[in-house]
Structure 1
Amino acid sequence: MKKLLASINHRSERFQTSISYIIILILVISGVCIVCDLFNLRNEAGQNNKVPLDLDHVHEILLSSGSEEARERDDNCRLWDCVNLYRCGQKGHDRLTVFVYPLQEYIDKTSGNTVSILTREYYQILEAVVRSRYYTPNPNEACLFLPSIDTLNSNLVKPGTVEQALAMQNHWENGENHIIFNMIPRVDGNILKTDRAIVLGGGFDSWTYRTGFDLALPIFSPTQQKVADLSAKSTHLPRRNLLVAVLPNIYQKYRRYVQTLADDNPNDVLVIDNCIISNKESRNGIHCNSSRAKVFEYPRVYEKGTFCLYSHSVTMGQSDLMEMLAYNCIPLIAVDNFVLPFEDVLDWPLFSMRIREAEMHSIVKKLEKISHTKIFELQRQGRWVYNRYFKDLNVITLTALEILENRIFPHRARSIMDWNKPDDNYRSTFNPLFLPVISPKAQGFTAVILTYDRVESLFTLIQKLAMVPSLQSILVIWNNQNKMPPHLSAFPTISKPLKVIQTRANRLSNRFYPYNEIETEAILTIDDDINMLTTDELDFGYEVWREFPDRIVGFPSRIHVWDNATMHWRYESEWTNQISMVLTGAAFHHKFWSHMYTYAMPGNIKDWVDQHMNCEDIAMNFLVANITNKPPIKVTPRKKFKCPECTNTEMLSADLNHMRERSACIDRFASIYGRMPLHSVEFRADPVLFRDNFPEKLKRFNDVGNL
């Protein structure tokens, strides 16, 4: 009995002890949870307050010869195969999230040297990310990862060791979903081993840039921070020197061309080089002009030029492009394969000029043709772009992250116009058509027919146009001053309003005059011999214009090509897969363009067209493309436009010099605009059920596409 009681007491003690252990375990777990909650709260507070990176607790990590190395850069990477997009947008977040690795110091075990010393510039980049809306302290919620390894300047990085440090990152996984800031590439041309990581770098060319994956950055210069605010100064007039070129920043091969320009144009071109003082080159920042008569401080010398030459240098890792913009000097870029900073979203032709390397000898002639108005617009846009996207590392970093966010979340992306539209209220150089997405259907279009003396074909055309449901009215422009137009009673009887205007002079530009009789937004400009278009084709063309009211939408198309043999632009009328112009002999456009053509055409283009009786359609295409930066839209597959009733001697295109003159037009207009605004595109608009094996009664546009 005693043994039984003793056994029961012993079991009771063990049970109590077990209960005690369980209670203690529960208390420990509760304590851990409380600590975790506090830690999470601290992280959330840190995220909300955007606490900068902690430099007081940096861990040292040794790199041994056996450490894993990052693989060579994958040149075939694209966003959809080298980025795990499923990591992005977690927990319903439709924004970019970036995790910054904790600061760590990597030591090369063999030499004892630090692999990558954190520079002030890279710390500013890391801090900009941590303080931004993109930062997340939780790597499990991150879309992209940013190592705290300084790779800004590849020339300061010991080859091999930094790749080992990258491969040791906890979430590296062959660089997938990682971003690497590498502003200055190596002088020897060796590329940093980054495997599948996205490289945000400077000095990209068309051979090394992975389009849509990498991101071209501006190369920041500390001297930019010393630039005084020039916004208060008047920069709308050309400066004393038309062109400034800094020879130490130009590759030796091209210096001879630049020096020749200065010798031939001493009053327009300022060329500066290193000063020679006591048989020694001058200290950094001091340069002399070619005559050694004056001394200039670099980069302040850029404020003396209207244009500043950016040419090939020993390395593309030069900051002079940003320094030019800082001093509001218009960059003249003479590097054929250079990928411009943020060119994915920035429209560089709005604040810079670009010229082929082979044309460097003609720089001055081209620049002299640019009007003061164009210079003012370039300088004004350049000042805004610099302050908005380039002025410091914080702005550069946030801009880069926003571009990456646009790629990953395209539904949130800003339009190109929003990226390039200044915030102030001065007259915009962009598309001024503040129109709804689709123009009202009830308005219809006004057909403006330019004619001279082809009455029979004119009447045939009027009868066909009157059958188009979307036609509102017809306006006949009688361009013959030696003969009165037929009386209205002689015109075909139609159900739509018709009016005839006899012009005071025989000019092709008369077709684009903003007549008060035009009450609709849409205008169909059409020649009197274009009577082969069907009702369905014209009606469908108007429907396409309603969706693209800022474009020229029409039927006959042409292309401009560069001729390497003659070094000139050539007008091409052959059938190709590309178009860059839609001829206004049968095309829709907004009435605003008629106003712009008549009153705001650059240079003497309009007068030249009227004198030579040619190229008014090319001039209109240049005008629209220059303002909108968009190509025209070709409608339906019809390619040939002939006048069966007309003899060849009656048509302007019968002239043997016609094609030569039109090629010369493109060259002339491009020189006046200071660039080539036309954009080539492989695109054509056809009805949805076009040529589908479908019942005809269910198709809206049946009579489309007959050649």
Structure 2
Amino acid sequence: MITMRLRSKYQNFYIVLFMVILFGVIVTGFFQFWPHTVETNQDRRNLFTLPDLNSVPEVKISAKSRPPKKGNTSCRHYDCLDVYRCGQDSNTISVYIYPMKKYVDENGGLITNPMSKEFFEVLTTIASSQFYTADPEKACLLIPSIDMLSQNTLKTFENGQVLAQLPRWNNGINHLLFNILPGSIPDFNTSLDVPRENAIVAGGGFSTWTYRPGFDVSIPVFNPEVSIIQLPKTDLNADRKYLAISAQIGIHPDYRNELDNIAAGQRDFLILDRCQSTNEEETDATKMCKGHEQYNYPHILQDATFCIVLRRARLGQPALSDALKTGCIPVVAIDTYVMPYADVLDWNRASISIREEDLERLPDILRSISSTQILLMRKQVLFYWENYFKSMDRIALTILQIINDRIFPYAKRNYASWNEPSRENTVSPFFLPRMPPKAEGFTAVVLTYNRVESLFKIIKEISKTPSLSKILVVWNNQEMSPPAASTWPKVNKPLKVVQTKENKLSNRFYPYDEIETECVLALDDDILMLNPDELEFGYEVWREFPDRLVGYPGRLHLWDEGTGKWKYNSEWTSSMSMILSGAAFYHKFFNFLYTHRMPSVIKSWVDENFNCEDIAMNFLISNITGKPPMKVTPKKKFKCPECINNENLSADPKHMEARSECISDFSKIYGIMPLKSVEYRADPVLHLDTLPQELKRFKDVGDI
């Protein structure tokens, strides 16, 4: 009887337990699989659609409505933009698009232009981007869904009245307007004529007089007819038939006459114009002519090295974008023109800019540019086209990224991100999680041969560096054994001596098992002028840039027009592209790459000629990462590697010539010039400030 009661009791318990578990599974499934209201990228794409114009709410604008004031020409980032609306949750601006409405005058006439395909692409791109928000309260920027891309048929005054009635207009603060073709007959002003007060303008054709630096965004003049044309692939290295082509219609007769005069004496200049037609409306934009000879446009631009871009009625010209599409280097002769994305793109790398009055000197200017420079510029041209010019969605996202960088300067894209063409092998090798090193700090690897006295001095000095983990001496002399253990300096850091089997410069970059830290400090045995403060600061900088070669003596590679080769420059200059490995920090992973992955012909040359191992390491790291090295501290003198003395390898005058040959030969082996020039140096905070020494962390950092 008792057993039956217990069984009945446990049966009830298990039934209740089963019901609780079942309920939990049902509730979990409900929350897991029931549609959520979390906004996804796909949701964003559906948030903005082009409605039927017949169903769009109609808003009547009174003729007596007050328009905004004219554009505030003194606006800058800090006085016409409310940055406190931005970055509530992240380092990304949020952008709101006003709902589309139909604006009519008192007679029912349409005020705003019909929405173009290009402007709709701008809106849909923004709506599907990381910048979009459907909540105007959270918006940093507000975009009216009013198409102002072209001012040709725009009712400027009435569109200003429309802007003024927007519910969040607030004198245009934090509003962004898009305009590619500013101005109209007869003045063709270089900025949008719509009254807009403090609104930001992303415009094509700004002049230095109308562009508000750090506030407006200069954008390209997009050519929809040309952008959709598929062009055949061409060999970047191939010579082109024409040195320069002009393929613009409607340029001033004075410019046309000057170009014709140039072409008359230069067979590799081609000057094209509109093809003659009995009906001007039947003109084909994809055909250009020279007399009765017809050419396909923009295909003909692929046959030219340079494309001439001159002003017409407006400063901004679609010819610039057309040139980029075809890999033709633009020659811009438009005084006061603000180039597209001028705040972030380095146009010196992708264009030739000349004054209008120097147009007659154009042949001499273009013929003075080397073939190597032309190839680099051609690659840069195509990089700019693909990333920033190719379509309206690229243009829209570039505009927002530029504004985002202004609002969050500490999180902005750097110069290299905007201007360096990416390659498959320029990914930092340190982007994946790594096992922690066996030891913290850095290992000093000192390459030596027989200079025992200076070697011992260096060991004593660097052992005072707080972050030093170990000293590894690479004894590169097979004819003489290292000094007896009892004669070595007594230091408070582990000291290990490795004797090599062959006397090779590459021994300094071998991945020794004794290196247990991630960071390696390569040192020559005669670098006597570096003190512990300078070494410690160099290590701190390397920790911030572990994929760079970080060091002290800097050198530069230059192109020699006379010899048509690269040249090694050891003079003190503002630029540098190499760090000498006589005193440099780097990640030990590069030892492995140098020994096992670097082109073997380079390593063999270094070992046979006893030269250029530092140049080889600079080539290797810059080729892998796509980044320049990093110089630290003002110090330039450590020894005199180019001075003549009996103990120095550089005593031979041919040594410097050989280093120039190294740069030229290594660039041929890599197929590119991977070295990156930079005008940058890292110094300790307070280094030059006239403050008490006790306030400075790195007190003993030398000036020379």
Q: TM-score, structure 2 length as denominator? A: 0.66
- Post-superposition Cα deviations, 1:35-88, rounded to whole Å, max 9, x if no partner, equal xxxxxxxxxx99974343552344343556x9445234434501x332112334
Map of 1:5 onto structure 2: none
Map of 2:285 onto structure 1: 284
- The correspondence for 2:483, drawn from 486, 489, 499, is 489
Q: Secondary structure at the match of 2:272?
A: strand
Identity of aligned residues (%): 36
Alpha-carbon spacing, 1:691–1:651, altered in 2? closer, same or farther (3 Å): farther
- Post-superposition Cα deviations, 1:539-562, rounded to whole Å, max 9, x if no partner, equal 442233123111222233568999
- The correspondence for 1:550, drawn from 531, 547, 551, is 547
Q: In 1, are the aligned partners of 2:111 and 2:155 still within 8 Å (CA)? A: no
Q: In 2, are the aligned partners of 1:446 and 1:475 still within 8 Å (CA)? A: no
Tell me the CA shift for residue 181 of structure 1. Answer: 0.6
Q: Secondary structure at the match of 1:489?
A: coil
Q: In 1, are the aligned partners of 2:471 and 2:495 still within 8 Å (CA)? A: yes
Q: In 1, are the aligned partners of 2:275 and 2:287 still within 8 Å (CA)? A: no
- Post-superposition Cα deviations, 1:508-546, rounded to whole Å, max 9, x if no partner, equal x74775556684543323333211222343244223312
Question: Letter of the aligned partner of 2:150 in structure 1?
Answer: N
Q: TM-score, structure 1 length as denominator? A: 0.66
- The correspondence for 1:98, drawn from 96, 100, 118, is 96
Map of 1:527 onto structure 2: 524
- Post-superposition Cα deviations, 1:91-129, rounded to whole Å, max 9, x if no partner, equal 9997503142643546699xx995756444334434555
Tell me the CA shift for residue 684 of structure 1. Answer: 1.8
Distance, in Å, in 2 between the alignment partners of 1:93 and 1:116 is: 35
Alignment of 1:476-515 (within 5 A): 476=474, 478=476, 486-489=480-483, 493=488, 495-501=494-500, 510=506, 514=510
Question: Letter of the aligned partner of 2:287 in structure 1?
Answer: I
Question: Letter of the aligned partner of 2:53 in structure 1?
Answer: L
Alpha-carbon spacing, 1:90–1:613, altered in 2? closer, same or farther (3 Å): closer
- The correspondence for 2:217, drawn from 215, 218, 230, is 215
- The correspondence for 1:332, drawn from 329, 335, 355, is 329
Map of 2:18 onto structure 1: none
Map of 1:677 onto structure 2: 676
- Post-superposition Cα deviations, 1:12-53, rounded to whole Å, max 9, x if no partner, equal xxxxxxxxxxxxxxxxxxxxxxxxxxxxxxxxx999743435
Q: In 2, are the aligned partners of 1:202 and 1:219 still within 8 Å (CA)? A: yes
Q: In 2, are the aligned partners of 1:549 and 1:590 still within 8 Å (CA)? A: yes
Distance, in Å, in 1 between the alignment partners of 2:94 and 2:475 is: 57
Q: Secondary structure at the match of 2:171?
A: helix
Map of 2:61 onto structure 1: 61
Q: Secondary structure at the match of 2:61?
A: strand
1:83 aligned onto 2:78: no
- Post-superposition Cα deviations, 1:563-616, rounded to whole Å, max 9, x if no partner, equal 9xxx9999585597x8765443311123455677789889x9999999999877
- The correspondence for 2:538, drawn from 537, 541, 547, is 541
Q: Which moved more, 1:461-470 or 1:591-600?
A: 591-600
Alpha-carbon spacing, 1:138–1:618, altered in 2? closer, same or farther (3 Å): same
Tell me the CA shift for residue 308 of structure 1. Answer: 5.6
Alpha-carbon spacing, 1:673–1:133, altered in 2? closer, same or farther (3 Å): closer
Tell me the CA shift for residue 682 of structure 1. Answer: 5.3
Distance, in Å, in 1 between the alignment partners of 2:429 and 2:290 is: 44
Tell me the CA shift for residue 487 of structure 1. Answer: 1.6
- Post-superposition Cα deviations, 1:445-503, rounded to whole Å, max 9, x if no partner, equal 4444455764543443344445555243435374xxxx865322368536422224476
Alpha-carbon spacing, 1:546–1:121, altered in 2? closer, same or farther (3 Å): closer
Map of 1:248 onto structure 2: 247
Distance, in Å, in 1 between the alignment partners of 2:223 and 2:550 is: 46
Question: Letter of the aligned partner of 1:360 in structure 2?
Answer: L
Distance, in Å, in 2 between the alignment partners of 1:562 and 1:210 is: 37
Q: Secondary structure at the match of 2:222?
A: coil
Q: Secondary structure at the match of 1:81?
A: coil
Distance, in Å, in 2 between the alignment partners of 1:517 and 1:333 is: 53
Map of 2:180 onto structure 1: 183
- Post-superposition Cα deviations, 1:327-361, rounded to whole Å, max 9, x if no partner, equal xx435344599766557778999xx8455658522
Q: Secondary structure at the match of 2:70?
A: coil
- Post-superposition Cα deviations, 1:632-682, rounded to whole Å, max 9, x if no partner, equal 4343454442479x9867667889999999999999999995798312125
Distance, in Å, in 2 between the alignment partners of 1:466 and 1:435 is: 32
- The correspondence for 1:361, drawn from 356, 367, 370, is 367
Distance, in Å, in 2 between the alignment partners of 1:154 and 1:512 is: 66
Map of 1:12 onto structure 2: none
Alpha-carbon spacing, 1:677–1:257, altered in 2? closer, same or farther (3 Å): farther
Alpha-carbon spacing, 1:415–1:570, altered in 2? closer, same or farther (3 Å): closer
Map of 2:306 onto structure 1: 309
Q: Which moved more, 1:126-135 or 1:608-617?
A: 608-617
Distance, in Å, in 1 between the alignment partners of 2:607 and 2:307 is: 38
Question: Letter of the aligned partner of 1:487 in structure 2?
Answer: S
Alpha-carbon spacing, 1:419–1:188, altered in 2? closer, same or farther (3 Å): closer
Q: In 1, are the aligned partners of 2:534 and 2:701 still within 8 Å (CA)? A: yes
Distance, in Å, in 2 between the alignment partners of 1:683 and 1:317 is: 39
Map of 1:200 onto structure 2: 202
Distance, in Å, in 1 between the alignment partners of 2:264 and 2:510 is: 48
- Post-superposition Cα deviations, 1:427-453, rounded to whole Å, max 9, x if no partner, equal 343444436699848155444445576
Alpha-carbon spacing, 1:432–1:498, altered in 2? closer, same or farther (3 Å): same
Map of 1:273 onto structure 2: 272
Tell me the CA shift for residue 378 of structure 1. Answer: 6.9
Q: Which moved more, 1:68-77 or 1:272-281?
A: 272-281
Map of 1:19 onto structure 2: none
The gaps in structure 1 that reach 5 residues or longer are: 1-44, 265-269
Tell me the CA shift for residue 369 of structure 1. Answer: 6.6
Distance, in Å, in 2 between the alignment partners of 1:94 and 1:320 is: 33
Map of 1:50 onto structure 2: 48
Alpha-carbon spacing, 1:182–1:430, altered in 2? closer, same or farther (3 Å): farther
| CA RMSD of superposed structures (Å) | 5.9
Distance, in Å, in 1 between the alignment partners of 2:373 and 2:625 is: 23
1:144 aligned onto 2:145: no
Alpha-carbon spacing, 1:391–1:69, altered in 2? closer, same or farther (3 Å): same
Aligned length: 623
Alpha-carbon spacing, 1:224–1:593, altered in 2? closer, same or farther (3 Å): farther
Q: In 2, are the aligned partners of 1:511 and 1:525 still within 8 Å (CA)? A: no
1:397 aligned onto 2:396: yes
Alignment of 1:524-673 (within 5 A): 524-557=521-554, 573=571, 582-593=579-590, 624=621, 628=625, 630-642=627-639
Q: Which moved more, 1:335-344 or 1:391-400?
A: 335-344
Alignment of 1:125-164 (within 5 A): 125-129=122-126, 139-157=136-154, 163=160
Question: Letter of the aligned partner of 1:524 in structure 2?
Answer: L
Q: Secondary structure at the match of 1:121?
A: helix
Distance, in Å, in 2 between the alignment partners of 1:517 and 1:289 is: 70
Question: Letter of the aligned partner of 1:366 in structure 2?
Answer: T
Alpha-carbon spacing, 1:363–1:159, altered in 2? closer, same or farther (3 Å): farther
